[in-house]
């Protein structure tokens, strides 16, 4: 009698078990060799690639290695490429979702979108997969794609709250269609459905109400946002916050701890102004504000430092200001802010808005302000105006709004500074914004 030869798939199962056992025993070097051998000998076994992907993502975490993560992604992709040959929808889906998570983390937007599309093709009747795709577009601020995907989803599922939310956000941002946007946003957020309860969505709904002059309802939304822990307070609605920092709308230079640096800049305000005026005479140096904050008018900027980095081309054009700023590293090196010239033409109104973080204070060194009585900066419930050679310091995480009702341009140097209550190690470790 002949000895039964194990079927090929049996030996595959055996070797797979073996490799997994090595992983569980934390014998990583050996496990890596085993998984690599496995996909060589059993290249057409989907599970070989899936198991290797799981192993590599574990290894990536252990070694804190993006290279390993890329290898994991690669294995996921090979697994997903089997398509219909993978029997289980559930396994296919969860592999796709992990792959998407890693691709998002690596910032590979196009590849992320490709995996979303693969999942949608496989499970066309699940609206969540389409919402995940429009969410990926949302995080990449790709609003045209958000609108397109959400519109397609709403054709099939008109009452889907997440699709409504994404569609509403797109209407607001792409077209400034606040009336239409409002009904989508309101409906979605009031549904309290999964995927609709995020700080950013409450911010957008409140902003939409404000832009429709429905202030009491906006305040109510902001109150709900505070109650849910999204906002520090009704007026302070920054989303990237550190706890326990002093918070007040306006600051005096002496309160900041940067008094001498600020005084030195102020002392040089005439040379700074000369430099800024020379730049202004060149067409195309200043760029339009891009955050959709203008209700009407013209408001442009010339950036010198952003996220703590010097912008070389612009600094070469403003050497005096930049060298002064280099002596003030708490400002020029502030990774959660910018230094820039800001020019506002007459008949401009900037909608109420909040900066992204409570980790900075914002100073304006006023360079040109011929009509102080016709301009105004409101921060929370207090208003100030610009006077040449003077400083205004405010915390731009508080809601603020700007009017220029005069006839001639207003020009300021804006410099953000690390919030003085942040420790050295916080300043070092906080992510750039």
Query: Which positions touch ligand LMR (CB under 6 A)?
Result: 342, 344, 350, 362, 377, 396, 400, 402, 412
Q: How far is the CB of 250 from Mn ion (least distance, A)?
A: 14
The item of Mn ion, ligand LMR, none sharing an interface with residue 342, based on CB under 5 to 8 Å by kind, is ligand LMR
Nearer to ligand LMR by Cβ, of 134 and 331: the residue is: 331
Q: How far is the CB of 79 from Mn ion (least distance, A)?
A: 46
Structure tokens at 39: 């996909």
The item of ligand LMR, Mn ion, none sharing an interface with residue 304, based on CB under 5 to 8 Å by kind, is none
Which helix (H) or strand (E) segment holds residue 85: the answer is none
The item of ligand LMR, Mn ion, none sharing an interface with residue 160, based on CB under 5 to 8 Å by kind, is none
Nearer to ligand LMR by Cβ, of 111 and 241: the residue is: 241
What part of residues 390-419 is at the interface with Mn ion (CB under 5 A)?
Answer: 396
Nearer to ligand LMR by Cβ, of 137 and 364: the residue is: 364
Which helix (H) or strand (E) segment holds residue 307: the answer is none
Instruction: Give 236's strand partners.
Output: 398
Q: How far is the CB of 354 from Mn ion (least distance, A)?
A: 8
Interacting stretch for Mn ion, rule CB under 5 A, among 256-264, 331-339, 388-396, 404-412? 388-396
Q: How far is the CB of 350 from ligand LMR (least distance, A)?
A: 6
Nearer to ligand LMR by Cβ, of 80 and 361: the residue is: 361
What part of residues 173-212 is at the interface with Mn ion (CB under 5 A)?
Answer: none
Q: How far is the CB of 377 from ligand LMR (least distance, A)?
A: 6
Q: How far is the CB of 171 from Mn ion (least distance, A)?
A: 23
Output Rg (C-alpha) for the chain, integer angstroms: 27
Nearer to ligand LMR by Cβ, of 160 and 396: the residue is: 396
Alpha carbon separation from 309 to 264, 312, 322, 373 (Å, rounded): 21, 9, 11, 36
Nearer to ligand LMR by Cβ, of 412 and 415: the residue is: 412
d(CA 340, CA 251): 20
The item of ligand LMR, Mn ion, none sharing an interface with residue 377, based on CB under 5 to 8 Å by kind, is ligand LMR
Q: How far is the CB of 355 from Mn ion (least distance, A)?
A: 6
Counting other chains too, the contacts that 321-325 makes at CB distance below 8 Å and 24 or more residues apart are 321/272, 321/275, 321/276, 321/413, 324/264, 324/265, 324/268, 324/272, 325/265, 325/415
Check if the beta carbon of residue 123 is closer than 8 Å to that of residue 106. no
The item of ligand LMR, Mn ion, none sharing an interface with residue 402, based on CB under 5 to 8 Å by kind, is ligand LMR
Nearer to ligand LMR by Cβ, of 197 and 345: the residue is: 345
Check if the beta carbon of residue 192 is closer than 8 Å to that of residue 176. no
Q: How far is the CB of 355 from ligand LMR (least distance, A)?
A: 7
* Site size toward Mn ion, by CB under 5 A: 1
Nearer to ligand LMR by Cβ, of 233 and 300: the residue is: 300
Residue among 312, 286, 302, 366 at smallest CA distance from 338: 302
d(CA 368, CA 274): 10
Find the residue with minimal CB distance to ligand LMR.
342
Nearer to ligand LMR by Cβ, of 127 and 297: the residue is: 297
Residues in Cβ contact with 44 at an 8 Å cutoff, skipping those fewer than 6 apart: none
Q: How far is the CB of 60 from ligand LMR (least distance, A)?
A: 40
Per-residue burial over 392-418, b = 16 or more CB atoms within 10 Å of its CB, e = otherwise: bbbbbbbbbbbbbebeebbbbbbbbbb
Structure-token match 């911010």, residue found: 203
Find the residue with minimal CB distance to Mn ion.
396
Check if the beta carbon of residue 171 is closer than 8 Å to that of residue 158. no
Angle at 234 between CA 195 and CA 383, to 5 degrees: 135
Residues in the site for Mn ion, rule: CB under 5 A?
396
């Amino acid at each position: 009698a002949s000895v039964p030869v194990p079927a090929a798939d049996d030996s595959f199962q055996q070797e797979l078990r073996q490799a997994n056992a090595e992983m569980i025993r934390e014998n990583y070097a050996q496990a890596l060799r085993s998984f690599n051998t496995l996909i060589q000998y059993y290249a057409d076994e989907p599970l070989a690639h899936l198991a290797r992907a799981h192993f590599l993502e574990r290894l990536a975490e252990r070694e804190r290695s993006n290279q390993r993560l890329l290898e994991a992604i690669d294995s996921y992709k090979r697994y997903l490429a089997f398509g219909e040959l993978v029997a289980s929808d559930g396994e296919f889906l969860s592999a796709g979702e992990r792959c998407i998570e890693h691709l998002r983390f690596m910032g590979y937007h196009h590849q992320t979108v490709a995996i979303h599309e693969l999942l949608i093709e496989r499970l066309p009747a699940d609206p969540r997969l389409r919402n995940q795709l429009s969410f990926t577009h949302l995080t990449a601020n790709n609003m045209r794609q958000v609108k397109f995907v959400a519109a397609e989803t709403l054709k099939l599922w008109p009452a889907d709250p997440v699709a409504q939310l994404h569609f509403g956000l797109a209407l607001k941002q792409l077209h400034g269609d606040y009336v239409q946007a409002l009904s989508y946003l309101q409906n979605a957020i009031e549904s309290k459905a999964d995927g609709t309860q995020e700080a950013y969505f409450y911010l957008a709904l409140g902003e939409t109400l404000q832009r429709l002059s429905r202030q009491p309802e906006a305040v109510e939304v902001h109150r709900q946002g505070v109650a849910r822990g999204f906002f520090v307070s009704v007026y302070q609605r920054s989303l990237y916050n550190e706890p326990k920092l002093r918070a007040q709308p306006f600051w005096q230079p002496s309160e900041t701890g940067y008094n001498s640096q600020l005084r030195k800049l102020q002392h040089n305000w005439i040379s700074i102004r000369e430099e800024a005026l020379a730049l202004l005479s060149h067409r195309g140096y200043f760029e339009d504000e891009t955050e959709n904050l203008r209700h009407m008018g013209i408001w442009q900027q010339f950036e010198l430092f952003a996220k703590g980095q010097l912008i070389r081309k612009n600094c070469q054009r403003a050497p005096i200001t930049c060298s002064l700023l280099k002596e003030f590293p708490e400002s020029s090196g502030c990774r959660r802010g910018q230094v820039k010239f800001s020019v506002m033409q007459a008949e401009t109104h900037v909608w109420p808005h909040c900066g992204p973080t409570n980790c900075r204070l914002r100073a304006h060194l006023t360079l040109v302000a011929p009509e102080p009585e016709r301009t105004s900066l409101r921060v929370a419930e207090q208003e100030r105006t610009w006077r040449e050679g003077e400083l205004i310091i405010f915390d731009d995480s508080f809601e603020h709004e700007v009017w220029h009702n005069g006839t001639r341009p207003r020009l300021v140097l804006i410099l953000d500074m690390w919030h003085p209550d942040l420790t050295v190690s916080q300043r070092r470790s906080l992510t750039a914004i």
